[in-house]
Amino acid sequence: MNFDKEYIDIFEHYEPVCIDLGPGVMNDLSAEFLLSEEKPVVTFVIGGSSITRSGARADMTNMMLHSEFESRLVCGIPAEPDLDDVARIIEALKESQSTEVVAIGGGSVLDAAKAAWAAYQTGLDVSALFGVNKITEKFPGKEFRRIIAVPTTAGTGSEVTPYSNIVDRAAGVKRLISDRQIVPRMALVDPSYGRSMSGGLTAATALDALTHCIEALLNTGSPETKFATNHNAVYAVRLIRDNLPLVFRDPNDVNARERLCAAATIGGIMIADRPTSLPHLGSFSFYGQVPHGIAASMLLPPFWRYYLAEKAVAERTMLLADVFPSDAPQKTPEAVVDAAAAFIALHAGVPKLSALPCFDAAMVGRIAADAVKNPMKLASAPRPVSPENAAEIISEILKKEL
Ligand SMILES: [Fe+2]
């Protein structure tokens, strides 16, 4: 097996989603719709100006001109989409009576489209979908149509996950839908779209993917599954370690971007089965202030050090000893975490957690208070944390970083 291209094999055998990765994969859409028995009515859900800069919008327009299907466009879905953004998509779906949804953009656009398509088909209010398996439980035995995802950033892995994060502004929180019925049926990943991303966005998205892979690796409570394996997590971390510096050096290095995209999609496959825990949980409190991937990755080292008291976590950490080597005389789990923390800080452009804007005593209090609102993420922590003691433990860990 060619290590560098091992991801092709992983994707080929991943049953829930048909994954195609490479320059020009948007063209696969025409063929996909040609195969439809009925003439499809397609709603394209896209983000803001970054979609134009990436070249994805031009590819979409070109494909629409040369294909025989009815289409409708919903533009301008922002980062951190809220219930109003989802409602706008649902309105468009109702008006056009769509039979297909294609989401083109970052994870936010994909998440909004997943939520809207599920709400439209089930007839349920979006707020009734928040939580775990609400659709599957309400409609046993029924299979709903799923979106086609075209991610333009390499980070969230939303193109292969059963998750959708939507902001509930009235409640002041980000809320999660988790249901296999919203896993996209097809993911078309074109690494060339990443070339227009700034260095900051490239880092934030790659470090988000890195955090997914490491949190999944450390999630000793969830078993290895056919695809969410320790081997695949370490493999994807190595791809990011090797290729993020190359993309920093040359933003047009499409080969390196392809590997970052592959790692991000593997990260999505990992967290679909082995969810993230405290670092991601803490990152939600930064929404609107610090990019998600920067917040999550900068929170990773302190929580990782806390987890190390568990023998199984220390053993998993040593699987990364060659990926994050250190100058320390002895190879220890602590040295691996220190080396990973240095890699993250270097690429995030933030020397330490306390250098993040808005990381202060009030933020520590908010993270601790918000944590108890998400028992699912607490339950994924490899070192036991309960809703009763979570606030105390989390503030103790983070106060050391102030
Ligand atoms: Fe994330």
The whole-angstrom separation of Cα 2 and Cα 353 is: 37
**C-alpha dihedral sign at 93, 98, 101, 106:** negative
Q: How far is the CA of 299 from the centre of ligand 1 (A)?
A: 12
Q: List, for residues 323-340, the tens digit of each pLDDT value.
A: 999 888 889 999 999 999
Q: List, for residues 202-221, the tens digit of each pLDDT value.
A: 999 999 999 999 999 999 99
Tell me which DSSP letter residue 82 carries. Answer: B
Query: What integer is the mean pLDDT of 151-168?
Result: 93
pLDDT at 388 over 70: yes
Q: How far is the CA of 95 from the centre of ligand 1 (A)?
A: 33
**pLDDT for the residue 232:** 97
Residue type, 246: L
Residue 26 near residue 188 (C-beta atoms within 8 A): yes
Q: How far is the CA of 355 from the centre of ligand 1 (A)?
A: 20
E strand or H helix at 317, and its extent? helix 311-318
**Three-class secondary structure of residue 378 per DSSP:** helix
Give the residue among 23, 320, 293 at the shortest CA–CA distance from 158: 293
Given pLDDT bands bounded at 50, 70 and 90, which one contains residue 246? very high
Given pLDDT bands bounded at 50, 70 and 90, which one contains residue 288? confident
The whole-angstrom separation of Cα 395 and Cα 391 is: 6
Q: How far is the CA of 209 from the centre of ligand 1 (A)?
A: 7
pLDDT at 154 over 80: no
Given pLDDT bands bounded at 50, 70 and 90, which one contains residue 158? very high
Query: What integer is the mean pLDDT of 160-165?
Result: 96
pLDDT at 317 over 60: yes
The whole-angstrom separation of Cα 360 and Cα 371 is: 17
Given pLDDT bands bounded at 50, 70 and 90, which one contains residue 67? confident
Q: How far is the CA of 137 from the centre of ligand 1 (A)?
A: 26
This prediction has a pTM of: 0.95
Question: Domain locations in the chain?
Answer: 3-192, 197-399
Architecture of domain 3-192: 3-Layer(aba) Sandwich (3.40)
What phi and psi, each to the nearest 5 degrees, are found at residue 173?
A: -140, 160
Residue 268 near residue 213 (C-beta atoms within 8 A): no
Q: How far is the CA of 204 from the centre of ligand 1 (A)?
A: 10
What CATH number has the domain spanning 197-399? 1.20.1090.10
Q: Determine what percent of the chain is predicted with pLDDT higher than 70.
A: 99
Query: What integer is the mean pLDDT of 188-206?
Result: 94
**pLDDT for the residue 199:** 93
Q: How far is the CA of 70 from the centre of ligand 1 (A)?
A: 34
Q: How far is the CA of 330 from the centre of ligand 1 (A)?
A: 32
Query: What integer is the mean pLDDT of 242-246?
Result: 97
Q: How far is the CA of 136 from the centre of ligand 1 (A)?
A: 24
- What is the full DSSP assignment across 5-46? GHHHHHHHT-TTSEEEESTTGGGHHHHHHHT-SSPPEEEEEE
Q: How far is the CA of 30 from the centre of ligand 1 (A)?
A: 31
Q: List, for residues 75-112, the tens digit of each pLDDT value.
A: 999 988 999 999 999 999 999 999 999 999 999 999 99
